[in-house]
Amino acid sequence: MAAAAASLKLNLPSTPGGTNSRPIFRSKFRVVRCSTSTDRQELFNRIAPVYDNLNDLFSLGRHREWKNTAVSWSRAKVGDNVLDICCGSGDLAFLLSEKVGPNGKVVGLDFSKEQLSIAAARQQSNSKKCHKIIKWVEGDALDLPFPESYFDAITIGYGLRNVVDRQKSLKEAYRVLKPGSRISVLDFNKSDNPLMTSFQEWTLDNVVVPIASSQGVAEEYRYLKESIRGYLTGKELEYLALEAGFSTAKHFVLDLGLMGHLVATK
């Protein structure tokens, strides 16, 4: 199966317009579309059952440390009202609830029903009292269902890369954040170092996709490489955040440039 996955071909049709011209990942088994919000929603619904295990495996558990850093850098504190956008199965929301404590408020927002139902199941089985404060909201990062200046801190983990309009997403985050508060955005780093890019892409092709293939989601994980290629470098992310209205924006790299972290203040 792994060998079969490794031999699959990526086809990106170029004609703009109709349904058949959208970027797709085509294999002899299946076609995975990923250019529209609906395509991505479906993709994240499909990978939901294996998502957490694969994260642990691919990062050798390191993603927990990166997520802890993301929550610390959001400056969420006891009693705060905080939001995790693109929460998926809830890792960052759970960590945020530990920061704000039982008297704080945490909202985890995502547009994937399947990811949210895994988040809710994890919440049910978790014993920590603060985890119970999290509310899961099915919603769109491009049209947040919250009033202006509502949250004390916002996190986005591996989500900004996946939204179809990053500028709009950051503008929405800016709108619902209180003045002086921070957004903390964790994701893969799109490096401007060709050596790091080659290493990242080699790992995705030769480790990530074959392992994902054993779980039946090779094509979904093949999308990862394209999404990192289509993402923004640290400097570009800083620029995007300033354009969205943030007064300061700084990008940091983690783990020798494998991961990237944007921190911006309203």
Ligand X SMILES: C[S@@+](CC[C@H](N)C(=O)[O-])C[C@H]1O[C@@H](n2cnc3c(N)ncnc32)[C@H](O)[C@@H]1O
Q: How far is CA 75 from the centre of its chain?
A: 19
Q: Does 115 bind ligand X (CB under 6 A)?
A: yes
CB of 36 to ligand X, least distance (A): 10
Report which residue type is found at 33.
R
Buried/exposed code over 109-123 (b: 16+ C-beta within 10 A; e: otherwise): bbbbebbbebbeebb
The verdict on 142 binding ligand X (CB under 6 A) reads: yes
Check binding of 162 to ligand X (CB under 6 A): yes
Site for ligand X contains 88 (CB under 6 A): yes
Q: Is 2 or 137 the residue whose CB approaches ligand X more closely? A: 137
* Nearest to 108, CA basis, from 133, 125, 127: 133
Residue number, 28 or 259, with CB nearest to ligand X: 259
The H or E element spanning position 250 is strand 248-254
Decide if residue 110 touches ligand X (CB under 6 A). Answer: yes
Q: Is 92 in the site for ligand X (CB under 6 A)?
A: yes
Please enumerate in sequence order all residues whose Cβ is within 8 A of that of 30, keeping only pairs 6 or more positions apart, or say none: 219
Contacting residue, 33, 34, 119, 157, with ligand X by CB under 6 A = 157
Tokens linked to 175: 């709108």
Stretch that binds ligand X, among 73-81, 146-154, 159-167, 247-255 (CB under 6 A): 159-167
The Cα–Cα gap between 159 and 142 comes to 11
Alpha-carbon dihedral of residues 208, 214, 218, 222, nearest 10 degrees? 10
Least distance in angstroms from the C-beta of 7 to ligand X: 26
Tokens of 137: 């909201």
Does residue 86 touch ligand X according to CB under 6 A?
yes
Among 44, 58, 94, 151, binds ligand X (CB under 6 A): 44
**Nearer to ligand X by C-beta: 112 or 200?**
112
Whether the Cβ atoms of residue 198 and residue 218 lie closer than 8 Å to each other = no
Residue closer to ligand X, measured from CB, 115 or 191: 115
Q: Which residue is nearest to ligand X (CB)?
A: 88
Q: Please give the structure tokens belonging to residue 178.
A: 């209180």
Candidates 14-22, 87-95, 146-154, 256-264; binding stretch for ligand X (CB under 6 A):
87-95
Q: Name beta bridge partners: 140.
A: 143
Cβ 86 to ligand X shortest distance, Å: 3
Pick the closer one to ligand X by CB: 65 or 79: 65
| Number of residues this chain uses to bind ligand X (CB under 6 A) | 20
Instruction: Kindly indicate which of the ranges 2-10, 153-161, 207-215, 251-259 contains the residues binding ligand X, using the contact rule CB under 6 A.
Output: 153-161
Q: Which residues lie across from 186 on neighbouring strands?
A: 157, 261
Helix segments in the chain, DSSP class H? 2-6, 37-59, 62-73, 91-100, 113-125, 166-176, 194-203, 209-214, 218-229, 234-243
Q: Can you name the residues that pair with 136 across neighbouring β-strands? A: 108
Nearer to ligand X, 68 or 81 (CB): 68
Q: Which residues make up the interface to ligand X (CB under 6 A)?
A: 37, 40, 44, 86-88, 91-92, 110-112, 115, 140-142, 157-159, 162-163
